[in-house]
Structure 1
Amino acid sequence: MCMDYDKLVKEFGAERFEVMPDELKDLRMAKYIVSHRDFLSISKKPFAIVSGRGPSGKFHLGHLATFMFVKQMQDKYKCRVFIPFSNDEKFLLRGISFEDAQNYAMDNLLDIIALGFDPELTDIIIDLYNLPQDLYNLAIRVSRKITYSTVKALLGFTSETNIGLSFYSAMQVAHILYPTMKYGLPSVVIVAIDQDPFIRLTRDIAEKLGYHKPGALHLGYIPSLQGEQKMSSSSPYSAIFTTDDPETVKKKVMNAFTGGRETLSLQKEKGGNPSICSVYAYLDLFGADTEQIKKDCVAGKRMCGDCKKELITLLNAFLDEHRRKREKSKNLVRKFLK
């Protein structure tokens, strides 16, 4: 199902950028920024970024692209980054075992560290591993400001919902406010736009606790290889995972949805449609010369097989380097899990 971003922006009362800020427009994920909350005012002074991970499986390139953007933001603004791993929520919601909730978090952590975050400016907390007392205390303070009726309306809880999920709402608000409490810095949350209800809840509670309201940068979804709007860890052929070997990458890309015509002759005659092509989206995201690719595709001078072969080469080179950095990250875990 296609997500109507304009409808969500209007429904949530978020803002579009009339002009993309200079600091953002050159970042690779800038075109996926759908809207924001108070970013222009908050970013004029020191601020912190909050962008979490709910680990319930392997890390795919959609996850990785978000944290690549967060890392670029850290480099651009020299800002502190807080990355909370909500494996407690995944244990409560997804029905995965306690052990898997821990293992997925530790595995995903290596992918994030491999991107080169500054350990002096980066706090990573895994809720079921190194949750600090002051964060838990903040969650308790938050919980007294949230009624069950609010949580029920926000998340659609029923009488069958376990009580752990009710409290997790307070924990998520605490995640967002933690840099504000600890460092006195307003937070900018980098999150998919459909998660904005949590931002609005946190903004309401921040005022009650005397904290600066958090801002947000809302991101759209990188398309699935199967032509759907969103990748899924539970659908292996919808995404490329960071642990996929070269042959698996090749197989997935060769079966990917494109904007090509039904036949080769029609492609040459009428050209393709890059705007709906998952292969083109990945080429664009990972640094190919998509301006020329688009011209050639629309003109019928480039076939889908050409783009797929280029993407396979590009992704396998990228993943080979990422896996080397990921292996080295095993020696850096203690620097980040302070």
Structure 2
Amino acid sequence: MDILEQKIKVQGDIVRKLKAAKAGATTDEERASLSTQIKDEVAKLLSLKAEKEASSSAPSTADETEAEADKADAGAGASGQVVTPWEVEGGEDGIDYDRLLRDFGTQEITPELIARVEELTGKPAHPWLRRGLFFSHRDLKELLDAYEAGTPFYVYTGRGPSSDSMHVGHLIPFLFTKYLQDAFDVPLVIQMTDDEKFLWKNMSLDDAAIFLRENVKDIIAVGFDPAKTFIFADTDYIQHLYPNVLKIRKATTGSMVRAIFGFTNSDNIGKWGFPAVQAAPSFASTFPHMFGNRRDIRCLIPAAIDQDPYFRLTRDVAPKLGYLKPSLIYTRFFPGLQGAGSKMGSSSPMSAIFLTDSKKQIKKKIGACVSGGGETIEEHRANGANLARDIPFQYLEVFLDDDARLEEIRVEYSAGRMLTGEVKKELIAIMADLVANHQAARAKVTDEQVTEFMSVRSFDHLGLAEFRDYAKKQTGKQKKKKNKKKATPAEPAAAAAPTSTA
């Protein structure tokens, strides 16, 4: 081991010890102090890694460019912002999403793209698309082009079962996935990463299995169609995952994984191998009981943007395996009740609204959450609310369906004519209804339904063969036109125009 490697190892140990200390901290002040120390030490670690990389040889193949372009520190820098699959920390004003777009190299979802979704589905775009909660994508336009041309796709999302109770932030990707499944009428696969939680957390496989089934009940309660939905645990479905997992691992170098995820020699080898497990469901051949051996079916993945490192790797190896790159649509982070920089988790009950909370608990939590209103009524009337800091309004942006009412609150609250208590009262009613409705739906979910959703079964009824035949017919028509064009003299442009295709 050279001197730089030794320094990197020592610095990595410092960061891990600080993170462990933060996990065991009991006060907000202690956690804030440790967060500052972690940011400083991470900056030092990244500087050492950059120095090490500069002194090493260039990547061995040109195929590594997409993965190598975005390093593990893509979400970290001078401002202290850190965005990785395991840690998300913003500055005082929260996450800088414009910077994430630049650092991760994703594209912004434009009004034109949203209009295209509405045109293809014949349905209004989801409010979360219109309001920018889902704000960024990779190759969404390409997927929509293919869909319009008759190429099918499926949706892939997932959940890491870290506890037996999910919160409303966990619900967001599943509610949006439900919209995608219904609007496009497509199949869905949901990966439950019990193996990931075992590898990263102090959790037994038995505990992960218990949490998993409880989480699956919450997911089923969202209302997914069992005829078009397959939910699987990695440890249960591994024999089907493994062929593609092996192919992905063979196409991936250790330097690529280290560069993207920042793993070190002290990380267990399970962590190094896990990215291939999360990548495998991006390819239709991972689900032969649904899609046979077809490789022409595309994949759309809705996820929080902190998961992008996994799918940068996935998209990098896809061409090497002869697979289509998955398309992705990314959401912003949902804030904790204690402010933009806070985290939601079962270890801090007041940090989030859990799907098991009573109306009384919801009222208490929202009443105590961070607001952007003035300290006094006089100050609030004079200056209005700071909506960028106000958690109740940010929750209304997500969960209040009425666009006109949301805009009315925005205007009145920011002008100081509406008080914080009034905004919180409106949010309490909305969240209490949401959670109560979810609890009622979940109570109806049986163990037999869980087994049904998670069983490896035939999905022939999806009609993908008909979809494939349709695509073949379209291709055949194009070939006939091409052959006819070769066999006959060119026609004037005005005469040819009516027979052209988009």
Paired residue for 1:299, among 415, 425, 431?
415
Q: How high is the sequence identity, in percent, across the aligned residues?
A: 36
Are the counterparts in 2 of residues 189 and 217 from structure 1 also a CA contact under 8 Å? yes
Aligned to 1:90: 197
User: After superposition, what is the alpha-carbon deviation per residue over 1:66-121, rounded to whole angstroms, capped at 9, x for unaligned?
Assistant: 11001011111111111101110111101212222111111111111001111111
User: Which residue of the partner structure matches residue 81 of structure 1?
Assistant: 188
- 1:125 is aligned to 232
1:21 corresponds in structure 2 to: 114
Task: Determine the C-alpha separation between the residues in 1 that align with 2:138 and 2:193.
Answer: 23
Q: What SS class does the counterpart of residue 329 from structure 2 fall into?
A: strand
Task: Please tell me whether the aligned partners of residues 114 and 125 of structure 2 are also in contact (alpha carbons under 8 angstroms).
Answer: no
> Residue 132 of structure 1: CA displacement?
5.0
Equivalent position to 2:379, from 251, 266, 279: 266
* CA deviation profile, 1:107-166 (whole Å, cap 9, x unmatched): 1111110011111111111113x3152212221222211222222222221222111112
| Correspondence list, 1:26-45, <5 A | 26-30=125-129, 31-44=132-145, 45=147
In 2, Cα distance between equivalents of 1:120 and 1:283: 33
For 2:137, give the aligned amino acid.
H
Runs in 1 of length 4+ with deviation above 6 angstroms?
Answer: none
Matching residue of 1:255:
368
User: Is the 2:372–2:387 contact (alpha carbons within 8 Å) kept by the matching residues of 1?
Assistant: yes
2:429 to 313, 316, 320: 313
Match of 1:216 in 2: 328
Paired residues of 1:16 and 1:36 also in contact (CA < 8 A): yes
Identify if the C-alpha distance between structure 1 residues 316 and 181 changes in structure 2 by more than 3 Å, giving closer, same or farther.
Answer: closer
TM-score (norm 1): 0.94
Q: Deviations over 1:150-208 (max 9, x none)?
A: 22222221222111112212111112224676424211111111221211111111111
Equivalent pair of 1:180/1:211 in contact (CA under 8 Å) = no
Distance 1:299 1:107 in 2: 44
Q: 2:216 aligns with which of 106, 109, 134?
A: 109
1:336 Cα offset (Å): 0.7
For 1:333, the equivalent position in structure 2 comes to 450
Q: Give SS of 2:222's match.
A: coil
Larger radius of gyration: 2
Q: Helix, strand or coil: the match of 1:316?
A: helix
- Secondary structure of 1:218's match? strand
Counterpart of 2:438? Answer: 322
- Amino acid across the alignment from 2:331: L
Which residue of the partner structure matches residue 259 of structure 2?
153
Q: Distance in 2 between matches of 1:219 and 1:171?
A: 22
Residue 124 (structure 2) pairs with residue 8 (structure 1):
no
- Please identify, of 99-108 and 280-289, the stretch whose mean Cα deviation from structure 2 is larger: 280-289
Q: Residues 222 and 230 of structure 1 are in contact (CA less than 8 Å); yes or no, is this contact kept in structure 2?
A: no
Partners of 1:202 and 1:284 lie apart in 2 by 32
Q: Which runs of 5+ in 1 are unaligned?
A: none
- 8 Å Cα contact 2:133-2:398 kept in structure 1: no
Structure 2 spans left out of the alignment, 5+ residues: 1-89, 119-123, 456-502
Give, in angstroms, the shift of residue 8 of structure 1: 1.8
- Per mean C-alpha deviation after superposition, the further-off stretch among 88-97 and 137-146 is 137-146
CA contact (8 A) 1:48 1:179 kept: no
Secondary structure of the structure 2 residue equivalent to 1:222: coil
CA contact (8 A) 1:225 1:238 kept: yes
Q: Per-residue deviation at 1:53?
A: 0.7
Give the Cα separation in 1 of the matches to 2:103 and 2:312.
12
Mapped pair 1:55 → 2:55: no
Match of 1:243 in 2: 356
Structure 1 counterpart SS, 2:426: helix
One-letter amino acid matched to 2:156:
V
Work out which of the residue numbers 294, 301, 306 in structure 2 matches 1:189.
Answer: 301
Q: Please say if 1:285 is aligned against 2:402.
A: no
CA distance in 1: counterparts of 2:343 and 2:302, whole angstroms: 18
CA spacing shift, 1:67–1:231, aligned 2, 3 Å: farther
Q: Secondary structure at the match of 2:350?
A: helix
1:232 is matched by which residue type in structure 2? M
Give, in angstroms, the shift of residue 231 of structure 1: 4.0
Residues matched between the structures, number: 337
2:277 aligned to 163, 171, 183, which one? Answer: 171
Q: Greater relative contact order: 1 or 2 (C-alpha under 8 angstroms, separation 6 or more)? A: 1
Tell whether the 8 Å contact from 1:226 to 1:257 is kept in structure 2 after alignment.
yes
3-state SS in 2 of match to 1:49: strand
- Cα RMSD for the two superposed structures: 1.8
